[in-house]
Chain A
Amino acid sequence: GAVVSQHPSRVICKSGTSVKIECRSLDFQATTMFWYRQFPKQSLMLMATSNEGSKATYEQGVEKDKFLINHASLTLSTLTVTSAHPEDSSFYICSAIETISPDTQYFGPGTRLTVL
Chain B
Amino acid sequence: ETGVTQTPRHLVMGMTNKKSLKCEQHLGHNAMYWYKQSAKKPLELMFVYNFKEQTENNSVPSRFSPECPNSSHLFLHLHTLQPEDSALYLCASSYRSGENTGELFFGEGSRLTVL
Bound together? no
